[in-house]
Amino acid sequence: MKRYLLILGLIAIMFMPYGCSCRGKQAPPVEQPTPVDTTPTPPPPPPPPPPQEPATPKVMESDFMIVYFDYDKSNIRTDQRVALDKNAEILKGNPDINIEVEGHCDERGTVEYNIALGDRRAQSVKKYLIDLGISADRIKTISYGKERPAVPGTGEEVWAKNRRAAFRIR
């Protein structure tokens, strides 16, 4: 019997740590496995494009053709209409570009007379471009008279190059 008691005592000692959970420490809770979402997650959106700098005009002032005039005249010469037609095409293809038409004269005549003549030349060019469909608010005019010659000197060849309407992008 002692033997049975001894064996029972040993068995009791062996199961003591696994006894009732109401004594001492509580057993840690059993963790439930987290459900796994098997739906594919969409890729993150692409990063925003870098800020763009203001677009520079594709057109330069040198792309515009100069228009030449006869002595003491402001009407558009027949041979100069091709130049204005090309300039109008540039403007139609670039609606964001505004221009300034500069009226110029040769050195003959008074300052006042040449300022007025340069203005009539610039206005004549503006009207021609408007007739071709360019908006008037895109065209500004200014007259420099004889104050800004393209070619210095005297003589008909020089004067012919100074009687002009030039274009500036503004």
Distance CA 118, CA 141 (A): 10
Q: Which residue has the higher pLDDT, 43 or 55?
A: 43
* pLDDT given for residue 126 in this prediction: 98
Rounded distance, CA 118 to CA 104, Å?
A: 5
Res. 33: pLDDT tops 80: no
44-75 pLDDT per residue, tens? 888 888 777 665 558 898 999 999 999 999 99
pLDDT of residue 16: 62
- The pLDDT value given to residue 64: 97
Q: Residue 89: pLDDT band by 50, 70, 90 thresholds?
A: very high
Tell which residue, 84, 64, 65, has the closest CA to residue 124: 84
pLDDT at 123: 98
Q: Is the dihedral of CA 127, 82, 101, 88 positive or negative?
A: positive
Using a cut of 0.85, tell me whether the model's pTM lies above it. Answer: no
- What ranges do the domains of the chain cover? 66-169
66-169 CATH fold = 60s Ribosomal Protein L30; Chain: A; (3.30.1330)
Decide the pairing of beta strands 164-169 and 67-68: antiparallel
Q: What is the C-alpha end-to-end distance of the chain, expressed in Å?
A: 118
Asked if residue 94 has pLDDT above 70, the reply is yes
Instruction: Output the average pLDDT for the chain.
Output: 87
pLDDT of residue 98 exceeding 90, the answer is yes
In angstroms, the CA 33 to CA 168 distance is 75
pLDDT the model gives residue 55: 59
pLDDT band at 41 (very low <50, low <70, confident <90, very high): confident
- Out of 16-30, 87-101, 148-162, least confident range: 16-30
Q: How far apart, in whole angstroms, are the C-alpha atoms of residue 167 and residue 69?
A: 15
Res. 3: pLDDT tops 90: no
